[in-house]
């Protein structure tokens, strides 16, 4: 079979029904939402067996990330080739029309609470849109104990123990594994470890209209995974990197990923030589230049730059805001 060299790769979103979702992702993505149902998540880059992302542009159209890792690992991952059994990050857009369940994710070291083939889950959000009831719950209130939290669970008053703030568009929030969290009436971009392990502590006593029943809780597992030292989590403070042809800021820095933001009107550089990077369009449109070809890119889209592609100039049409995701090293 002919080997096809890798190039800047785009992927179609995979929409997910969620009880707490809405229809606001129609304002962000060009692919039509499924009719009627509340859509809470669009998985825009996923190496999951049940929902694999497939290339939507060029000669590799229809190939999954898993297939590319198997056939072209060195071209795709560069020095990271062979380090991961699957692509290490999962990227999403979330429309949290209603507040999500109060939940917690295990850390990578809490192996007794991680199913085989999974990982712990640290995640981060970048706020894209807020409603009148927007709220981020991140961490417990200082002084909360396990016994006190159990009492609030019995009384259906868990919210009294949750630290929270009103988010603003453009803010970022890092949710390390073990942090109790939820959010509502916001649209966010989410980057996380490639894991689907979530333990629900509380779900606001609501009923799923599809089933007519409350959703399952995993209270014992959630309590076991909570890090009670993670309290009063607020929005991150952007770290200024440069203001050359574009404003470049570091929004999130963690061992599992970094998130940078480019804001520019004139051409600027994205990516890094011999290093895989991911671009996510937040606002505007433009084109990425690679080997004298131009790759259109706009708000709501994701583009994976394989290591062999390296650094590329991006040419905005007007103002363009792009998030650049750095993989764990």
Strands 181-193 and 123-140: antiparallel
Is 86 catalytic? The answer is no
H-type helices in the chain, by residue range? Answer: 65-71, 73-77, 146-155, 219-225
H-type helices in 41-115, by residue range? Answer: 65-71, 73-77
Q: At 270, is the secondary structure helix, strand, or coil?
A: strand
CB 254 within 8 A of CB 174: yes
DSSP state of 318: S
Active-site residue, selected from the candidate residues 18, 24, 200, 277:
200
* E-assigned strand segments in 141-204: 162-165, 172-175, 181-193, 199-202
Q: Cα dist. 287→145, 228, 294 in Å?
A: 52, 46, 6
CA–CA dist 218, 202 (Å, integer): 9
Helix (H) / strand (E) containing 293: strand 293-298
Greatest Cα-to-Cα distance within the chain, rounded to the nearest angstrom: 64
Give the residue numbers marked as catalytic. 200
């Amino acid at each position: 079979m002919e080997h096809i060299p890798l190039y800047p790769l785009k992927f179609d979103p995979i929409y997910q029904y969620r009880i707490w979702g809405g229809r606001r992702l129609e304002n962000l993505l060009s692919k039509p939402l499924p009719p009627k149902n509340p859509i809470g998540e669009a998985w825009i880059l996923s190496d999951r067996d049940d929902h694999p992302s497939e290339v939507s542009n060029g000669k590799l159209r229809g190939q999954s990330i898993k297939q590319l890792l198997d056939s072209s690992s060195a071209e795709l991952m560069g020095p990271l080739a062979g380090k991961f059994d699957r692509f290490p990050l999962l990227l999403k857009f979330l429309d949290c029309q209603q507040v999500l369940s109060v939940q917690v994710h295990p850390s990578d070291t809490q192996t007794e609470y991680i199913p085989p083939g999974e990982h712990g889950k640290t995640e981060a959000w970048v706020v894209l849109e807020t409603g009148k009831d927007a709220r981020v719950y991140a961490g417990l209130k200082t002084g909360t104990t396990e016994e006190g939290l159990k009492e609030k669970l019995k009384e259906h008053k868990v919210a009294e123990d949750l630290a929270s703030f009103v988010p603003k568009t453009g803010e970022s929030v890092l949710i390390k594994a073990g942090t109790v969290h939820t959010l509502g009436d916001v649209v966010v971009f989410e980057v996380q470890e490639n894991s689907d392990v979530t333990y629900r502590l509380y779900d606001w006593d609501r009923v799923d209209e599809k089933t007519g029943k409350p959703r399952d809780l995993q209270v014992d597992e959630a309590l076991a995974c909570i890090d009670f030292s993670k309290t009063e989590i607020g929005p991150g403070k952007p770290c200024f990197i440069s203001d050359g042809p574009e404003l470049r800021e570091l929004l999130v820095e963690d061992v599992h990923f970094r998130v940078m933001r480019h804001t520019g009107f004139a051409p600027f550089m994205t990516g890094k030589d011999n290093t895989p990077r991911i671009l996510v369009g937040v606002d505007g449109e433009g084109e990425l230049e690679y080997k004298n070809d131009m790759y259109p890119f706009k708000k709501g889209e994701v583009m994976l730059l394989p290591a062999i592609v390296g650094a590329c100039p991006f040419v905005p049409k007007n103002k363009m805001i792009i998030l650049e995701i750095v993989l764990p090293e």
